[in-house]
Each structure stands twice: as structure tokens, then as C-alpha cells.
Chain A
Amino acid sequence: MALTYDLARAPDLSAFLKRRDGGSPTLELLVKGARCASCLSKIEREAAAVGGVESARLNLTSGKLTVAFRSAQGADPAAVIAAVEAAGYPATPYDPGQAALAHDKEGRRLILCLAVAAFGAMNSMMFTVPLWAGLFGQELGPATRTFMQWWSALVATPCALYAGMPFFESAWRSLRARRANMDVPISIGVILTLAISFSETILGGPDAYFDAAVSLLFLLLIGRWLDHQLRAKARSAAADLLALQAPAATVLDGQGRERIKPLSDVAVGDEVLVRPGERIPVDGRVTAGVSELDNALLTGETAPVPVQEGELCRAGALNLSGLLRLTATARSEDSAVAAIARLVEAGAQAKSKYVRLADKASAIYVPVVHTAAALTFAGGWALGLGPREALLRAVAVLIITCPCALGLAVPAVQISASARLFRRGVLVKSGAALERLAEVDHVVFDKTGVLTEGKPRLLDAPTGLVATAAPLARASAHPLAKALAAEAGPGPAAIEVVEHPGQGVEGMIDGRRARLGRASFVGVSGETSGETEIWFGFEGDTKVRFRFTDALRPDAAQAIAALKARGLTVEVLSGDLSDPVARAAAAAGIEDWRAGLTPEGKSAAVDALKAQGRKVLMVGDGLNDAAALARAHAAIAPGTALDASQNAADLVFSGEGLMAVAQSVDTARVSRTRAMENFGFATLYNLVATPAAMFGLVNPFVAALAMSGSSLIVTLNALRLRSR
């Protein structure tokens, strides 16, 4: 899949220009490969040197180049792209849409809440430390104590109310939906703690937990923010991939010329062209062409739906087989669901039924802790404590059993794990993906493009013959001819070349007329011409055959052996013919293989394995794998895969090596072990701390120490993943 726009195919990019308030247009480009200061200055210099450009600024972190033009008349996006590409960096117009923008807002809000909580925790701690000294019999008069408590309240309460808003809102939403999530006990705990601390302060008692309430929020917000960062990183990487492919539509203008437009600019009534393998950009009615649509991302049904003239297509459906011409019936924002968001979220949606580790844990945690707190209050009161003392103990139970381990343990582990994989070129789309990957016990590989390189390579042929045919091969764009030319290396090309579509190529080599192509075209009769061979011959001379094979990835056998060593069973499911599949499987060291499978066959095979109770990891790249990728327990796609497959996959690996699959499984397993260790530690901690709180052995100092101590241990344990 080409990562750059074909400028010949998309001559008019002016639709990507954005108007600023001042009136001068700007262009956003996604630039690949910029790493250092010299890249940065080179790219900015080249872009700024283009006529009509006022300024160019590259964001090295996100790889986005913002180009401002002086006026709309002289603005030429194609010239800027050409200049940047000439400097050696592939550039693409970028139209991220509104989704990314809204997401960034959420991240900013979390970081601000985190800052406020940090300020509140530190400053209320400043007033709390003297109080702690008072707890241990140091000299602290009641007037000073009340003074300190009020200042602590003054700092902590507004901070806790502001920093707690994400939790309060989430808890309120889930209560309105008549469910209880993790944020409900957190909100109850924080509000109850603040309330009881106020009443203690007013009544002149020693036990005020203002600092505990806001430090609890601070620790929980760290976990929340880490989780958000992981998703945001994966999302922006996915959005970049999409920006290269999906959010532009090919629109035919009045004269029948093709223009590439950003999705948001496609108007009702526009004529849209959709090629096979592309997504339907907006809802529309077919005006010409016959094809099949894959609605898997829309409805979950994987069976292709045939469409013909007059029928409605919904945005997001994948055009499988034929060229379609549509009349848009809705704008992008009004289309069934906004296509971009759906593409990015698709993988998560398909697997949303999976219950995450932290949710499993909190399903046990919440009832146990609340029962313990209620028992403490009821029991304490019944056994002769005053209602105030009993309530204080119940609150101490709620505070000391702070769900920090649940809130922090898993995200901290998963962010370390995905950072480790990211350094090795593997993109993890979500934390849940890692949890599912750790559970797999069976791996299904696609053959073409996964076990193999997906490119034809010449089977042994005499060097002399290759050199003779090479000049003609160099002049052709056909994949097999290109492979032949690659084998021969650089050299002269044939002249007077004529390409015959679907047949072959004809031209002059050293004054002799030669042909390269299908058997019948070259002049061989009685031979069947397969997909993976081409014939070559001079006019009136003997004809020779070149055969090609799809070579295995260099480390395929090693990766399969590594997976088997980890106790996984391995299988190949391919849509290819039996013979090449058997050969590839044997070479890679895989005993089980099936060939000639349809896309439905593949997903049915995955379903059958699921029915047997196996947890399947699917590794695939093609359109025919997308359904199986979406249905498998976990899915990995190579970076060269089609966008549909990358969207259906949980992890995407770039780079040539298949060992990334084994490494991902390893990291996922280690991160599950770490998360389990963290839960084990949290359980142990609660088993000690809860009875202590019930029997009134906990004062505000012990609570603060235990809470931050447990969070620190959990985080340090997670960071062990990073160091290796």
C-alpha cells in the first residue's frame, strides 16, 4: 500500500487548504522520517522556499508540518509536497477531523486535574504534617491544631472537588444508567472523607483526612492519565495511518476530472468514485458499477453484500470487488456514523464484550470493601462505640482500602509493556489487547504477506537468461516483470516499448524484437500460463519460462519455533492453492495447514476453534483476513496490511521480522504476571490494613503512609518491565 499520494492521480489538492481567521490559507502535511535537528531545518527551509509560502513549521513530535501561504491565489499544495519529498521525506496532506481534537481536550483536562490534585496534596500535607506530630504526643495546642485543620480544609476541599470531577461525572453517568463502576466507591469515599473531616474539624477532634482525600485522587489520576496516554498514542498512530488512506474521497467534478477532497468537504449530490479495496466515504446511491460490500465494521455481519445500480451504500463499508460510482446522499458528518471514528474504534467495539482484568478485580473489590465498611459502622455502634467513633472507623476502612492498586496497577504495567513493544516497532492499540494476547493458546497465520514477504521472487534461473530478458522487464510496471528486473539489477531498458494490457510487453533489445508476458502472447501454444510465471522470447527464437515464488520472511521458521517453544499451537489458513501453502508451511515448520479458504471459511475456522474453547491469535494482513482478525481473541497485523486489517487488529508491527509476534506474546504474558503480582500485593495489603482500620488502629498518618506506600510499590513493580 503506497504511503504517499500519487500526485498524477490527485492533481488538485487545493481542497486540503484550511482558511485561517486572517484569510490566508494553511496546509497540514504528515511528514515521515524526520528525526533530528538537521531534518527539521531542512524540511522547513525547503517548504518555505516554495513560491507563495509565508512560513513552514514542523512539529517533530507528531511529524506534522504546518505550511502558511501568503494568499489563496498563489497557494500550491502539490508544489510544497513535491519540495518536501525531493528533500527525501514522504509527505501527505492531513485532515484529522474533529475526533482527534476532542480527544486532546480530554487529555488536557486530565493533566490539569492531576496538577491541581498534586498542588492540593502537597499543600494540605504541609498543614497535616504538624497534625501528625500532634498524634505522637508532640506539643500541639488545640488552637494551633484547629488552625492547621482549617487551612488544610481550605486548600484540599476545592482541589479535591475540582480534581475529582472526572470521577464524579463518570460515577453519576453510571448510576443514572443503573450500574455501578469503579468510580462510584471512589466518589463516595472522597465525599464521605471530606464530610467527616469537616465535622471533626468543627467538633475539634483530631482525625481530619483532608490530605488523604486529595492524595487518593492524585494517585488515581496518575493511573487514569497513563491509561489515557496509552490509548491516545495508539489512537494518534491509527489516525495517522487513516489520514494516509481513508479520510479523502475521490470526487468527479463537472468535466469528469478526478479530484481528491477531504471527507468533510464532500457535499450532497457529489459524484464519488470508489475503487476496490477502498471504503465508501459517505452515504450514497450507486449510479454505475457492480460490486460487493463488506459491512463487517458497520453491522458485524461478515458476509459480503452485493450492490448494483440504484442501491444505497453506507459510509464505512468496504468496496470489495468492482469500481463504483456513487451520488452522495449525506455529508460525512451526517453519514450513518462518522466513518473515521468508527474505523479507529472498530477493533475495540468488536471486542468490547471482553471483561478487563481491573474490572474483574473491582467486581470483587467493591462489594467486599463496602460490606466491610458497613459492618464496621454497625458493629462498632452495636459494641458500644459512639456513632461518631463508629462512623470514623468506617471511613478509615474506606480510605485505607483505597483502590489505588486497581486504579494504578494495570495501567502502569500496560504502559510500560507497550512502551517496550513500541521501541521494537510494535504498536499496541489498547491495554485490553495486551490482556487478551496473554491468554492465547493457538496461533493462526495467513500465508501471503505474513509468513511470506508478499512479493514475488524469481525461482532459480540461469543468470545469462535473466540478463537477456531484463531490459524488457525494466520497462514494464507488472509486478512479475518488476521482480525479474530486481533480480537482474540496474542496467539498460528496452526501447520502443509497447505495453499490452493483460497480455504483456513488447520492445526492442539490441535491435531485436522481443516479447515478455503470457504464454499465448509470447507465442507458446499448448502451455497453460499460471499466475506466477511469465514467458520471454525474441521473435522467431526459442521461448523461455520464468517462474516465481513468494519467499518466506527470513525469520519465519525461527519465529514459529519460538511460538511452539512457548506452548502455542500453530496453524496456517490460506486462500491460496494447496501446493504453495504446503511448501510455505513446511519451510516454516508448521504441520497444520489449510488452503483454498474463502474469507468466510477463515472466520468460520476461527469460530470453530473458539467453540472448542481455544483462544486464537490471528496474524493476517489481507482483506480476506479482516473478518477473522475481528473474530479472533487477539489479532496482529503487519504494518504493510490494508487499513481494514490494521483496524481489525489489536497490534500492528512494522519491520520485516515475524519475531515481533513472539516478542509481543512474551511481553503480554510478562505484563499479565506483573498485573497479577500487583493484585496479589493489593490483596495482601488489604488483608492487613482492613482489620487494622476496623479495630481503630489507623490514624490519618498511618492512612497516608499506607496509601502512598502501596501505590509506590505497585508502580515500581510495573516499571520492572521497562528496564529490560
Chain B
Amino acid sequence: MDLLIYLAPASVFLGAMGLFAFWWTLRNGQYEDPAGDAARILVDDPEDRPA
């Protein structure tokens, strides 16, 4: 059971990574325009088209 001493902080650290990732997406404005992001993937960029 001594392994818990390493595993406990490791699991909390992983959870904290998830929380940090969410904070980052929030800061990054990724929830500002869900409808637009869903639609934008369907729009062809002129640069992407084969010549």
C-alpha cells in the first residue's frame, strides 16, 4: 500500500491538468461561438483547394 504515497499525488496532478486545460480553453475563447465553429469546418478555404 506504500505505493499510494506516489499514486495519490499523481492522480491529483492528472486531475489538475484537466482543470487547467479547461481553464485554458475558457480563456482562449473556445466557447464564444459553438455554432460558428461547427459551421466553419464545412466552409472550403480557397487556399486549401488543389490548383
Nearest CB in chain A: distance from B41 CB, A: 8
Give the A-B pair count, Cβ closer than 8 A: 54
**A61 / chain B contacts, CB cutoff of 8 Å:** 32-36
**Contact, CB under 8 Å: B43 / A115:** no
Task: Kindly state whether residue B23 has any CB partner on chain A within 8 Å.
Answer: yes
**Contact, CB under 8 Å: B40 / A40:** yes
Interface string of B9-37 (1 = CB under 8 A from A): 00110011011001100100000111110
Closest B residue by C-beta to A104: B32
Q: How far is the CA of A650 from the CA of B32 in the complex (A)?
A: 27
Contact partner of B4 among A37, A40, A147, CB < 8 A?
A: A147
Tell me how many residues of A have a C-beta within 8 Å of chain B.
24
**B33 / chain A contacts, CB cutoff of 8 Å:** 59-62
Nearest CB in chain A: distance from B19 CB, A: 4
Band of interface residues on B: 20 to 34
Nearest CB in chain B: distance from A668 CB, A: 28
**B39 / chain A contacts, CB cutoff of 8 Å:** 36-37, 40, 60
Q: How far is the CA of A582 from the CA of B36 in the complex (A)?
A: 50
Closest A residue by C-beta to B1: A144
Nearest CB in chain B: distance from A129 CB, A: 12
**Contact, CB under 8 Å: B15 / A37:** no
Q: From B4, B26, B36, name the one whose CB has the most chain A CB atoms within 10 angstroms.
A: B36
**Contact, CB under 8 Å: B8 / A127:** yes
Closest A residue by C-beta to B37: A60
**Contact, CB under 8 Å: A122 / B15:** yes
**Contact, CB under 8 Å: A123 / B12:** yes
Q: From A58, A61, A155, name the one whose CB has the most chain B CB atoms within 10 angstroms.
A: A61
Q: How far is the CA of A59 from the CA of B30 in the complex (A)?
A: 12
**Contact, CB under 8 Å: B26 / A112:** yes
Nearest CB in chain B: distance from A61 CB, A: 5
Task: Kindly state whether residue A532 has any CB partner on chain B within 8 Å.
Answer: no
Task: Kindly state whether residue B42 has any CB partner on chain A within 8 Å.
Answer: yes
Q: A37-B42, A154-B12 are in contact. List 17 more A-B contacts (CB 8 A).
A: A36-B39, A37-B39, A37-B40, A40-B36, A40-B39, A41-B43, A58-B36, A59-B33, A59-B36, A60-B33, A61-B32, A108-B26, A115-B22, A115-B23, A116-B19, A119-B16, A123-B15
B residues apposed to A, CB below 8 Å: 1, 4-5, 8, 11-12, 15-16, 18-19, 22-23, 26, 32-36, 39-43
Complex A-B: 20 CB contacts under 8 Å: A36-B39, A37-B43, A40-B36, A60-B35, A60-B36, A61-B32, A61-B33, A61-B36, A111-B26, A115-B19, A119-B18, A119-B19, A123-B15, A144-B1, A144-B4, A147-B8, A151-B8, A151-B12, A154-B12, A155-B12
